[in-house]
Structure 1
């Protein structure tokens, strides 16, 4: 699915997942790609530390830039970013993806989906 969704490769990755998905993304990076590491949720509950970076060779060949990104470092820019993102959404240029789970009783399942990487985009639990 990733190859079909990115036939021209990937220029920018805002990485929040890590693990096998990150490896697959790194294999699709274009020359000069940029990666912002913001989180690695697939590894948060790991019993053992995950193995070291497996894709350094591809990062080297593609001359990719990888940089840590901590949201709090940019907190002062939040109002401007929210305005810009809202405008893009209103224009239809940015479409949020979400996985919707119905019912409060499904909350444990939804939380597991989040940590197992089974959702696409924002995970929403509809209750009531």
Structure 2
């Protein structure tokens, strides 16, 4: 499917589900650039895309050893419904030494605040919404 038709399909799903846009291309790009340039590693995240029912990765309840794909994993920006970031990473030091958890939560939240990116924290995760469902008041 070509890019224009895919975008139209995403935008149609956004309209049908009555989602409200929270982030735009500029905000996503600012976040992406800051994460890649400022942080010591790109934090792992779980993503929910508009046209996909499941999340990627499916399981994301514990700290992980890998880093997040902040380039292709967020593209195209208009397709990201939300991401759940765990700004920590497990680093194995050796067989006989317990792994170390590197926590960059403060630095990550600093970026969100600096670029006025709306977020909310829940447990040990930070959620950033591309879209959210409209609610009745």
TM-score of Structure 1 vs Structure 2, range by shorter chain: under 0.3
Structure having greater relative contact order (Cα 8 Å, sep ≥ 6):
2
Calculate the TM-score normalised by the size of structure 2: 0.23
Higher-Rg structure is 1
Q: So what's the TM-score if we normalise by structure 1?
A: 0.24
